[in-house]
Amino acid sequence: MAGSTARRRREEAKTEPKAPGEEAKPPHVPELLPAFPGLPLRIWMALLVLLVSAAAVILVSTWKPAEHPGKQTDFEVWASARRNLPDALQMKLALTGFGLCGIPRRGNRCARFVLDGVVPAAEVKELAELLQWLVSEAWGAGSGPPSVVDLHAETISYKDQRGVAVMTLKEKSELQQDNFVNLTMFMEFKSLKFTQKQVEAYSRVRQALRKQLSRLFGVPLEGLQHDMTFFSHINGSKTAQTTHDEYWHSHIDTEQYGTFAYTVLLYLNSADHDFDGGEFIFEESRGNGVVVPAAAVEPRAGRVVAFSSDAENPHKVLKVSRGVRMALTAAFTCSQEQAASIQSFPNPSMVEWSGTAAE
C-alpha cells in the first residue's frame, strides 16, 4: 500500500504542469570544461578551436620533410629522377650573337634540354654493363672517384698498383701515360675483346644522340659532327687523390675541352636507386666570376641532357656520396678538322668480329 502510494506520487511529479514561461530543465551532463561565472560553454568551445588552430600553424611552419641521406637540398630540382619526361623540358636563355656553329643564339638554339626515352632501355643497359665490365677488368680503374673510358682514344683510367706487376718496365712504360692506360694493349694483355652486340649498341646510341640533338637545336644533321665521346664512372666510396679527381668543380665545356659546340649526356643508371648525390647543376653567371645554381637534373637511366657548350652553360656535378654514377658524354662540333681527328671505333683487333668500323 505504502509502495503504491509512493510510486503514484513520483508519476504525478513527472506529469506536473510547468508554470507559464518555465522551461523544462535538461538532464544533467558532466562538465567537460571548467566553468567560470559569466563564461558560456560556446565561448570555451571557440577558445579551444582557436588554440588547436594555433598549434597546427606552429607545427606546419616548423616541420621539415625527412631528408634522404644522399640529398643536397640547397637547390631547386628541375628534372627529378622519379619523374619520367616523355616530352623535352626546355630552358631558354636570353642571349644574342652567334654560337660556335654560326647558329643565331635565339629561340631554342641556345638552350638546355632534358628528355627521357631517346635511347631504348636495352641499349642503355648494354652500355652500362660494358662500362662496368671494363672498370672491373681494370681492377677498379682510377685510384680516385672518377674513371674515364674513351673507346676512340683507346684509353682507360688506371692506378697501376696491381695486375701489371708481371710486365716488364718497357711494357709498363708503353702501356701507361698520365694515369691512363692504352685500352688496346690492356685488353690484349688480359685477352679481352668487345662483342659485336656491344659495338653495335654503342654505334646506335651515338647516332641516336646526334639525331636528337639536331632536332632539339635546329642544327642541320650534315653539319653536326662527332667530337669526343667518353664514359664516366664515379665511385662514391673512393676519395680524391689528385686535383684531377675533383670532378665537382664548376666549368664551361668550351674552356675545358676547346672544341665542343654542343654537349649531350646520357645517364646509364639512376640517382636514389644506384647512387646518392651526383646531381647535374646548371649555373648562372652573376659577373665578376660569381656563379650560382640555376637548375638541377637528377640522373635517371636513359635520361638525356643536351646543351650548348659555351659560356651560357656553366655547370658542375655534385659529389657522389654512395654507389657508382655512370654516364656517357657525347660532344659535337661543327669543325670538320676536329671531327676528322676522332678515331673510329672499334679497332678490328679489339672485337670478336672483323668488318667495317662503326662511326
* Domains along the chain with CATH numbers: 91-350 (2.60.120.620)
Q: CB of 153 within 8 A of CB of 257? A: no
Q: How far apart are CA 261 and CA 271, in angstroms?
A: 27
φ and ψ at 88, to 5 degrees?
A: -70, 135
pLDDT for 67 equals: 40
Q: Which cell numbers in the block locate residue 1?
A: 500500500
SS3 173: helix
Per-residue pLDDT reduced to its tens digit, 172-224: 444 444 478 899 999 999 999 999 999 999 999 999 999 999 998 888 898 89
Q: Which cell numbers in the block locate residue 45?
A: 568551445
Per-residue pLDDT reduced to its tens digit, 235-263: 999 998 888 888 999 988 888 888 888 99
Strand-pair category, 291-297 with 304-308 = unpaired
pLDDT for 64 equals: 40
Q: How far apart are CA 203 and CA 346, in angstroms?
A: 10
Q: Is the pLDDT of residue 302 over 60?
A: yes
Strand-pair category, 280-285 with 315-317 = antiparallel
Q: How far apart are CA 213 and CA 203, in angstroms?
A: 16
Catalytic site includes residue 325: yes
Higher pLDDT, 350 or 322: 322
Q: Is the pLDDT of residue 76 over 60?
A: yes
Mean pLDDT of the chain: 78
Q: Which cell numbers in the block locate residue 233?
A: 664512372
Q: Is the pLDDT of residue 23 over 90?
A: no
pLDDT for 115 equals: 95
SS3 content of the chain, % helix, strand, coil (to 5): 30, 25, 45
